[in-house]
Structure 1
Amino acid sequence: MLLRQATMADLPQIESIIRDGRELLAAQSVDQWQGTYPSTSIIVDDIHQGWTVVLEEDNEILGTAAVIPGEDANYERIDGQWLTDQAPYLAIHRVAVSSHHRGRGLAGELFQRIFAQIDKAENIESIRIDTHPDNKGMQHVIKKNGFTETGMIDLINQDLDGVKDYAYERVTAHINPAHLVEIKATK
């Protein structure tokens, strides 16, 4: 298995995996990805920007994610508190694995390989991700892979205005202690 940057030649397989994810969520009565998001144009833009990675085995794409640098407008306001403040971070979006290979722990494998690449980048201090409150499977994978739930965010753009997701953050090995937020206990 290897993690690599996606190319436009991968688009049909990526779209198939996204479709699989949409169908699984619908079967679980999770109102996530049930509209036009993520659209082909978003996935194409992710690939052109160099953000999409794929987990591949024997020339078959098993999973995909968008790993996006820079500040994410969705993460500017949070009902809660991020673990870091003013720290450079990456956001992971549009995580999906092939329905033909479910049960193999591929989402976790995808995350671990992404983390290994991020750990080589000394200027990234944390990773942020979010998911729908009803998507228990993704919440489990996120927490199992070292993310801490930090609150709720409002999704904006891409026809998602008004949608609230659980937000998570994972601090990397390169954290500057000055960027850690002091979490005050509430009683």
Structure 2
Amino acid sequence: MLLRQATMADLPQIESIIRDGRELLAAQAIDQWQGAYPTTSILVDDIHQGWTVVLEENNEILGTAALIPGEDPTYKQIDGQWLTKQAPYLAIHRVAVSSHHHGRGLAGQLFQRLFDQIDHAASIESIRIDTHPQNMAMQHIIKKSGFSETGTIDLAAAGMPGTTDFAYERLTANAKPAHLATTETVK
């Protein structure tokens, strides 16, 4: 298995995996990804920006995620507290694995390969991610992958006002003590 940057040729497989995820969430009565999000235009933009990575085995894409650098507008305000303040971080969004390979621990493997890659990026001090409060499977994977729950965020900046997700952060090997949050509550 290898982790690589996605190309436009991967779009049909990525869309299929996203559709699988949408259907699985619907079957579990979880109101996540039940509208148009993530749209094809978002997936295309992620690929063009160089943000999308895919987990591949034998020329088949098993999983995908968008690894986005810079300040994420949805993470500007949190009801809780991030582990870091003013530190460079990456946000992971649009994580999905193929329904044809459930039970293989692919999401965990995808995260581990991302972490291995990120730990070599000296400027990145943490990784942030969020998920729907009812998405217990993703919450389990996130926590098992070393993330700490930091609070809740509102997805208004992502065009979904009134939608609240659980927020998580994981420090990288490059975290600097000066950038770690204090005990003050940030809102």
TM-score range, shorter chain: over 0.9
Instruction: Give the drift of 1:132.
Output: 0.2
Distance 1:16 1:159 in 2: 23
For 2:145, the equivalent position in structure 1 comes to 145
Deviations 1:116-141 (A, max 9, x none): 00000000000000000000000000
In structure 2, the partner of 1:82 is: 82
Task: State the distance in 1 between where 2:37 and 2:159 align.
Answer: 7
Q: Deviations over 1:5-29 (max 9, x none)?
A: 0000000000000000000000000
Contact 1:6/1:52, CA 8 A, preserved across alignment: yes
Distance 1:128 1:18 in 2: 20
Q: Match of 1:126?
A: 126
Give the corresponding residue for 1:46: 46
Counting only pairs closer than 5 Å after superposition, residues 30-179 of structure 1 correspond to structure 2 as 30-179=30-179
CA deviations 1:135-168 (Å, max 9, x no partner) are 0000000000000000000002454121100000
1:28-80 per-residue CA deviation (whole Å, 9 max, x = no partner) reads: 00000000000000000000000000000000000000000000000000000
Percent of aligned pairs sharing the same letter: 76
**Distance of aligned partners of 1:71 and 1:158 in 2 relative to their CA distance in 1, 3 Å threshold:** closer
Instruction: Please state whether the residue corresponding to 1:162 is helix, strand or coil.
Output: coil
- What TM-score do the two structures reach when normalised by structure 2? 0.97
Question: Which residue of structure 1 lines up, in the alignment, with residue 2 of structure 2?
Answer: 2
Give the AA of the match of 1:41.
Answer: S
Letter in 1 for 2:96: A
Counterpart of 2:57, as a letter, is: E
Give the count of matched residue pairs. Answer: 185
**Structure 1 unaligned regions, length at least 5:** none
Contact 1:63–1:98, Cα closer than 8 Å, also in 2: yes
Greater than 3 Å deviation, 4+ residue runs: none
Shift of 1:182: 2.2
Distance 1:157 1:128 in 2: 16
Structure-1-length-normalised TM-score: 0.97
Instruction: Show the counterpart of 2:29.
Output: 29
Counterpart secondary structure, 2:11: helix
Change over 3 Å in CA distance of 1:137–1:107 after alignment to 2: same
- Residue 16 of structure 1 is matched in structure 2 by 16
Asked if the contact 1:37–1:159 (Cα under 8 Å) also holds between the matched residues in 2, the reply is no
Partner letter of residue 59 of structure 1? Answer: N
Q: Secondary structure at the match of 2:87?
A: coil
Aligned partners of 1:128, 1:41: CA distance in 2, in Å? Answer: 23
What do you get for the CA RMSD once the two structures are aligned? 1.1
SS state at 2:156 partner:
coil
CA contact (8 A) 2:74 2:158 kept: no
Distance 2:39 2:134 in 1: 21
